[in-house]
Structure 1
Amino acid sequence: MINGESKIARLRWGMIGGGRTGQVGYKHRTGALRDGTYQLICGAFDLDVERGREFGVNIGVASDRCYADYKELIAKETARPDGVEVVSIATPNFTHFEITKACLEAGLHVICEKPLFFTVEECEEVRKIAEEKGLIIGVTYGFTGHPLVEQMAVMVKKGMLGDIRIVDLQYTHGFNAGDDTNASEAQKWRTNPKTSGPTFVLGDIGTHLYYLTEVVLPHLKIDKLLCDRKAFIPTREPLEDHATVLMHYDNGARGHLWVSSVDAGNMRSHRYRFVGSKASLEWTDSFPNQLSYEVQGEPVRILHHGMPYLEDETNAIDRMGALHTEGLGDSWANIYLWIAQAIDAKKRGDEAFLKTHRYPGIEAGTEGVRWLENCVRSADAGAVWVDFK
């Protein structure tokens, strides 16, 4: 069980974006600051310089280290002996590549929002820079740090489900069921192709589902997929606010993924179901403490987080204990901790640790972009099957 002890030296951390009007900044700070592994020392929090400075001071950052933009942050922080070591990028999608590349070239580790970039080519370019500089790139896939996600992965690895046959995934909500007339700043850029990229909900929430399957089912690869997407609010075209993706895996399994931001009234959000030849697993963030384990011909078992009957790997990343809710903030804390451990290992030159250490890094970000490219290629061709490449 995680209790906040750490042998890692505290990382000097900054944020680009994530200010008062952002939707994800607080989640980043919740994750990073939970264990004391990161110290927030600087930021370029907002395009509105004064609003960003006021915000930074209100959360404990010195006024002279609240910068106008990422360029000023990089220039001034890298000139300091106590300058920033790692930055989190919580800005609109179209800025990720430019900012990440600049930070890496300046010698800074990067933690970036998803989708990482617009193209696989951009991912490969950035990967090369990170490797040459000896730096870590982390990507924030929210619920993949939850203990019961780890439990599912271990149970699949042990063969407790048998051969995987069906993958059924859902991440939907109704907060964009109306038009964008009164949309917030943070919402408007998500429905604009120039700032969001080639997708809306596929990139915004669908990539969470896809990466979780990579965690739970690392041995399965997609052979081909079919994507059908639609904008129920016409002003969002050519982006989608609703999409369905069918996937054929290399072992013969079939996958179904549904993402939508126009699922009016729905507050259940995430649901994951993995069906094997012997048994099934189902987990939802509506009941984050519970994992349903359903063996054919036997009563349903409800596994509860924090209990000794779970796998050792599961309880090693539990934070709250069995009587208390383990939630999204705890999952983000695990992700930030895993990235910090990767940065620490990279700084020490411990490549052996990095080869076995799981965290959402450049590979995860690249594969998420690859999945999006294939989805767009299928949808734009008229919702046809395409070979995954």
Structure 2
Amino acid sequence: MLNGEMKLARPLRWGMVGGGQTSQVGYKHRIGALRDNGAFELVCGAFDVDAERCTEFGTRIGVQAERCYGDFHRMLAEEAKRPDGVEVVSVATPNFTHYEITKACLEAGLHVICEKPLFFTVAECEEIEQLAASKNLIVGVTYGYSGHQMLMQMKAMIEQGKIGDVRMVDLQYTHGFNAADGDHLSEAQAWRVNPKTSGSTFVLGDLATHTFYMAHRILPNLHIEKLMCDRQSLVPAHAPLEDNAHVLFHYNNGAVGRLWTSSVDAGNMDAQRIRIVGSKASLQWSAAYPDDLHYQVQGEPNQHLHRGMPYLDEQALEYERMGALHTEGLGDSWANVYLSIALAIDAANRGAKDELEAVQYPDVKAGKEGVRWLENCVRSSESGSAWVAYQ
């Protein structure tokens, strides 16, 4: 159980690129990084491309004015001159900038925590993976939902054979907040439906990569052998990128899966759900009720497992903070992700290879696999929604 004790000898000196006043995700990064005492200390940032707005916002969240930069290149150059310069940088900017910023940070000798989807292509991911390895640097990916503890309970129960052989994987990440979009999109929405700034997908990359990663973390030994993707732009202003998609999978153990993702699921507020069906029982989790896990054994009464209870596996209790009956939420999940990345960075800095290998966190390999999945989905969709071998 976490109780606020420091896990590192000192906080990592942390900076941000993006995540300014109008950012949809910047505050989630700061909640995640700063939740646990002694993991990170926010020392600098290029929060906004407008230098005046950057400084105004940065000082309001406690950063010294001289360490607020309107350009990330200047931030890297100036911080390198300081004995107390930044050590870790989070990239919270639109998709098309991730590769350039991440590469520049690694070349400057800095660890990186990057938004998803990591980059546009698997080739870019592989290049960055090799660069990070050559410099003994960590690249983490903010799959922010993956820190929910009951997901680790699902993983443990499947490993223990509690549901038998996995037969079906049912995934969903949908909401309706773009259902009423007209021709005039907000700035935050416009870049997400522009292939030049978003990449080759919208909701598959913006939403579904979260759920894809979580399923892979729960089921690390299940690998997709082939898939079929059917995607649509149901709101014309979102074209040519999809606002709705269905993906079917065939796994290497004979199991089958499906994923539905949408930003036009009007009225839905239970956005993300995961159901794993085995030969003996099923497990079901929802982001709307993240403290709960439903365990349904064929022929027996359903069981409702609660976060924080001593009957849970140690994997689910490792990042426990509040105790049972006291609800946790997305901020806690982000904090778990950031803390795990901090522990990985600390182990890498100390050359503690065994400790590093023991840390479970969304790393560059996970980000690469997310991009690989997107490439396969696009290939299927552009082939007339045909089944394609997973490459």
* Coarse TM-score class (shorter-chain normalised): over 0.9
Tell me by how many angstroms 1:236 deviates: 1.9
Distance in 2 separating the partners of 1:387 and 1:266: 33
Distance in 1 separating the partners of 2:286 and 2:338: 22
Q: Which residue of 2 aligns with 1:303?
A: 305
Q: Which residue of 2 aligns with 1:133?
A: 135
Letter in 2 for 1:13: W
Give the conservation status (yes or no) of the 8 Å contact 2:344–2:356.
yes
Give the conservation status (yes or no) of the 8 Å contact 2:171–2:259.
yes
List runs of 5+ in structure 1 lacking aligned partners: none
Give the conservation status (yes or no) of the 8 Å contact 1:244–1:257.
yes
Q: Which residue of 1 aligns with 2:44?
A: 42
Tell me by how many angstroms 1:158 deviates: 0.8
Distance in 2 separating the partners of 1:366 and 1:204: 15
Q: Which residue of 1 aligns with 2:149?
A: 147
Distance in 2 separating the partners of 1:228 and 1:93: 23
Letter in 2 for 1:356: A
Q: Which residue of 2 aligns with 1:15?
A: 16
Tell me by how many angstroms 1:124 deviates: 0.4
Distance in 2 separating the partners of 1:70 and 1:196: 20
* Local SS of the residue matching 1:81: coil
Tell me by how many angstroms 1:170 deviates: 0.5
* Local SS of the residue matching 2:5: coil
Distance in 2 separating the partners of 1:131 and 1:180: 45
Tell me by how many angstroms 1:356 deviates: 2.5
Distance in 1 separating the partners of 2:61 and 2:186: 22
* Local SS of the residue matching 1:204: helix
Q: Which residue of 1 aligns with 2:4?
A: 4
Distance in 2 separating the partners of 1:137 and 1:4: 25
- Structure 1 runs, 4 residues or longer, greater than 4 Å off: none
List runs of 5+ in structure 2 lacking aligned partners: none
Letter in 2 for 1:199: T
* Local SS of the residue matching 2:123: helix
Q: Which residue of 2 aligns with 1:54?
A: 56
Distance in 2 separating the partners of 1:191 and 1:126: 25
Distance in 1 separating the partners of 2:60 and 2:275: 42
Q: Which residue of 2 aligns with 1:165?
A: 167
Distance in 2 separating the partners of 1:58 and 1:177: 35
Q: Which residue of 2 aligns with 1:249?
A: 251
Tell me by how many angstroms 1:289 deviates: 1.6
Distance in 2 separating the partners of 1:227 and 1:48: 40
Distance in 2 separating the partners of 1:180 and 1:93: 23
Q: Which residue of 2 aligns with 1:107?
A: 109
Q: Which residue of 1 aligns with 2:98?
A: 96
Tell me by how many angstroms 1:199 deviates: 0.3
Distance in 1 separating the partners of 2:108 and 2:163: 47
Is 1:26–2:27 an aligned residue pair? yes
Distance in 1 separating the partners of 2:186 and 2:21: 12
Distance in 1 separating the partners of 2:11 and 2:144: 22
Q: Which residue of 2 aligns with 1:352?
A: 354
Distance in 2 separating the partners of 1:307 and 1:64: 47
Give the conservation status (yes or no) of the 8 Å contact 2:225–2:390.
yes
Tell me by how many angstroms 1:95 deviates: 0.2
Distance in 1 separating the partners of 2:300 and 2:269: 31
Q: 1:285 aligns with which of 284, 287, 295?
A: 287
Letter in 2 for 1:5: E
Deviation digits for residues 48-106 of structure 1 (CA, Å, limit 9, x no counterpart): 22112111111001111110111011000011110000000000000000000000000
Same amino acid, percent of matched pairs: 63
Kindly report the root-mean-square deviation, in angstroms, between the aligned alpha carbons of the 2 structures.
Answer: 0.9
* Local SS of the residue matching 2:385: coil
